[in-house]
Amino acid sequence: MIHLISKKIAALATVCILLSSCGQIQSEQEKDNKANPSDSSITAPAVTEPTSNIDPSTTENTVNSIENTIQEPTTEAVPELQYHINKAYNVVPNEEGINKKVVLLTFDDGPKDQEMVNGLLDTLDKHQAKAIFFVNGYRVKANPDLLKQIYDRGQIIGNHSWDHIDLKKESPDNARKQVEDVQQIVEDNIGERPKFFRPPFGSGNDTLHKIAEDNGLIYMTWSNGSLDWDSKNKNKPDAVIQNVMDQLHNGSNILMHELPWTVEALDELLTKLEEQGYSFVDPRAISEAPEEQQN
């Protein structure tokens, strides 16, 4: 617990450093348009301190080991809240002038398997992409280390209910427990509660919307299904890619799963999306819908 609290404090401190650095950089830029701050200059305060007073002959190894121990995404700038999920479950800008040509990547029903998780994380890293991993509570209970890996490598954890059952058929109390138990087990493991909720099978009702709202969860289904779950696409990465490309539109909320053929498809899929000019939304840039877009 103390460890988690100290990690949280460290994260907050980093955010403060980042915010104040960004503010300074912005005002300096206003004075001098030549200023071109790089990420390394922004994150420098959080990283350089531990490397001081090191014998130069051992610097390389020490830096490597420090890098290996810094698993928290605390040195990454948290993006501004610029997007929301609309009623069609697309991801759309909150204001004019923000890039609309974006997609949201999501992977449901894990975490299950080390090899598949590694494959997804490596490919996301290669493309500098962030995704939401909508997890089930019973999977987290069985594989807490995989959950931590996903989080530690800077990806975002979403709530996909405990048992992956049709919550519409459950009593309100059971449905609430299905959601809230996942909030709890995720917090117990990574020190943060999910911010996003997707009901299994996209099956929900007013009660479920209310439960999500009570837990501060942004509710979504999807708007571009890869159909990787359909038995006819089993072991067919090309079909998964084609299904996404066939439905591609601005703000596509792409539903995929932790499945071998999706892991295999991902690199080529992300490359194709990039070639078509799409960017990957950082889920941390997604806010509640602006007031005028609700109801």
Residues classed as catalytic: 108, 257
181 binds Zn ion (CB under 5 A): no
CB of 191 to Zn ion, least distance (A): 25
| Segment holding 158, helix H or strand E | strand 156-159
Q: Which one, of 251, 244, 249, lies nearest residue 82 by Cα?
A: 251
Q: Which residue is nearest to Zn ion (CB)?
A: 108
Residue placing its CB nearer to Zn ion in the complex, 133 or 278: 133
Residue placing its CB nearer to Zn ion in the complex, 107 or 278: 107
Which of the ranges 26-34, 50-58, 176-184, 195-203 carries the binding residues for Zn ion, by CB under 5 A? 195-203
Residue 146 · residue 152 · CB < 8 Å: no
Burial (CB count within 10 angstroms: exposed 0-12, middle 13-18, buried 19+), residue 262: buried
* Residue 19 CB coordination number (10 Å): 12
Out of 18, 108, 119, 186, the residue judged to bind Zn ion by CB under 5 A? 108
Binding residues with Zn ion: total (CB under 5 A):
3
Residue placing its CB nearer to Zn ion in the complex, 127 or 209: 209
CB of 122 to Zn ion, least distance (A): 23
Out of 109, 163, 258, 282, the residue judged to bind Zn ion by CB under 5 A? 109
DSSP labels for 169-203?
A: GS-HHHHHHHHHHHHHHHHHHHS---SEE--GGG-
Footprint of Zn ion on 197-236 (CB under 5 A):
200
Contacts of 3 (CB under 8 A, 6+ apart): none
Interface residues with Zn ion (CB under 5 A) are 108-109, 200
